[in-house]
Amino acid sequence: VTERVEALVIGGGPAGLMAAEALIGAGIPVLLAERMPTVGRKLLMAGKSGLNLTKAEPADAFRAAFAGHGDSLAAPLAAFGPEEVQAWAKGLGQDLFTGSTGRVFPVAMKASPLLRAWLARLTDGGLDGGLDGGPDGGLVIRTRWRWTGFEDESWGGVDNGEGHRIHKFETPDGPRRLGARVTVLAFGGASWSRLGSDGAWAAHLPGTAPFAPSNCGVTLEWSDRMADHMGAPVKAIALQAGDAVSRGEIVIARTGLEGGGLYPLIPALRQGAALRLDLFPDLTAEALSARLARRRRGESLVNRLRRSLGLEGTRRALAMEFGRPLPDDPGPLLKALPVPLTGLAPLDAAISTAGGLRFDRLDADLMLRDRPGVFAAGEMLDWDAPTGGYLLTASLATGRHAGRAAARRLSGG
Ligand SMILES: Cc1cc2nc3c(=O)[nH]c(=O)nc-3n(C[C@H](O)[C@H](O)[C@H](O)COP(=O)(O)OP(=O)(O)OC[C@H]3O[C@@H](n4cnc5c(N)ncnc54)[C@H](O)[C@@H]3O)c2cc1C
């Protein structure tokens, strides 16, 4: 016997929980299935770095961060953009602050108070609709339920005649089937798989663009001379790849380079652009050359770099590593040191994933064109953005968009 529900959400990350909130807000009880023992694990991990919820900036600039996919996200973000995210978080009792770059964080600098308050509201029916919690209303969560595909694996297959799509799950009690009149899929991307999102769903959803690491480090092979600098942060530099320039911090890692300064460059690097390092972003090459020209008799180049430019420590090590042998006038080179990358960090180590379910498989409601009644939201969709609060905002916005559309479908609207 196949169990039936009206509304099913699969995946208990920000997108899935927000889809559930939208459905519950429309008076529809929701069953949420999550493969891990608890929901929101990646959200909690994002909290370890302070939980950058969104970015306070004009709508156009915000949308432009979604490299080429801003149009597909326009409607969800117009309805639930940076301002709405902030109001929502405040509604969950979170005091917020905005950093100098516009990034918005909870004062608590972590996700657990927000997630706790959110789950309490969803399961106790503390929403405006005043629904009762428990099986009769609000949200019911089933953990350790792993979705393993549609009952009818052939794409575009018909449902069972009563308007219920049948989903297959692996559960602690063995395989189970579950029918739902509307479903929101919110499986997440394909990085940090130990937190739950492993991308395995893609095998069951044709039209998924290949996953690629985003907001990640880069790999390269260091010489032994860099051994003393492992773990060292490098500040006050600029990085450049293609047309993209970044002035954030990087960190020397055994496997290559890490740090937020690289993230804005990843799309260009993925396209094969060369990475260059500018050790003196506030000085021109001419100014550097002029300073270096004032040499003392017999002075070594290394001393000259230290005396005239203050180049020491890890920054100097990088100049030698990437510039050796330095020319007599290394001014221009110090502004464009070629970094010999071997690749991007592995997918599983990336903060987010590019690729995913393509928008041309979805209608304006984020419903799968070939499976009416099944919607998709969050990082599993084929958009990409730098860190800065864009990822969470778009996950929440698409979750809400899909959840509201699913509710409309159920009510025949
Ligand atoms: C270290 C780190 C720091 C981050 N910091 C930030 C930040 O500060 N700001 C920001 O905006 N973003 C940040 N992000 C990114 C952000 O956390 C994600 O983009 C966001 O969580 C995506 O939401 P989602 O709901 O789409 O997917 P997820 O949060 O990944 O949730 C998907 C859920 O689906 C479940 N699931 C997957 N497959 C199945 C299945 N087959 N059956 C049942 N359940 C399944 C998973 O277990 C998971 O719980 C960070 C990410 C990482 C890794």
Give percent above pLDDT 90 in the chain. Answer: 87
CA-nearest residue, atom 4 of ligand 1: 46
Residues with Cβ within 8 Å of residue 48, at least 6 apart in sequence: 110
Q: How far is the CA of 46 from the centre of ligand 1 (A)?
A: 9
94 three-class SS: coil
Residue 199 near ligand 1, beta carbon < 6 Å: no
User: Distance between CA atoms of 242 and 244, rounded to whole angstroms?
Assistant: 6
Is 130 a residue whose pLDDT tops 50? Answer: no
pLDDT at 49 over 80: yes
Distance from chain centroid for Cα 71? 18
Average pLDDT over residues 85-103: 97
52 CA closest ligand 1 atom index: 8
Q: Which pLDDT score is estimated for 413?
A: 67
pLDDT at 126 over 60: no
Q: Report the alpha-carbon distance of residue 200 to residue 193 in Å, rounded.
A: 10
Whether 166 contacts 152, CB under 8 Å = yes
351 CA distance to ligand 1 centroid (A)? 9
Sequence letter at residue 122: L
Contact 280, 337 (CB under 8 A): no
Is any atom of ligand 1 closer than 6 Å to the C-beta of 16?
yes
Residue bearing the bigger pLDDT, 265 or 162: 265
Give 252-303 pLDDT, tens digit per residue: 999 999 999 999 999 999 999 999 999 999 999 999 999 999 888 888 888 9
Our answer on whether the CB atom of 106 is closer than 6 Å to any ligand 1 atom is no
Three-state SS annotation for 327-376: CCCCHHHHCCEEECCCEECCHHHCCEEEEEECHHHECCCCEECCCCCEEE
13 within 8 A of 36, measured Cβ to Cβ: no
Show Cβ contacts of residue 306 under 8 Å, excluding neighbours closer than 6 positions: 312, 316
State the Cα–Cα distance between residues 14 and 397, nearest whole angstrom.
9
Parallel, antiparallel or unpaired: strands 233-234 and 30-34: unpaired
Residue 154 has pLDDT above 70, yes or no: no
**Tens-place pLDDT, residues 361-372:** 999 999 999 999
Residues 6+ apart with CB under 8 A from 163: 181, 373
**pLDDT tens digits, residue range 396-409?**
999 999 999 999 99
Among protein residues, the one whose CA lies closest to atom 27 of ligand 1: 188
Instruction: Determine the distance separating the centroid of ligand 1 and the alpha carbon of 144, expressed in angstroms.
Output: 16
Ligand 1 contact, 205 CB (< 6 A): no
Q: Does the C-beta of 201 come closer than 6 Å to ligand 1?
A: yes
Cβ of 383 below 6 Å from ligand 1: no
Per-residue pLDDT at 134: 43
Residue 129 clears pLDDT 60, i.e. is over it: no
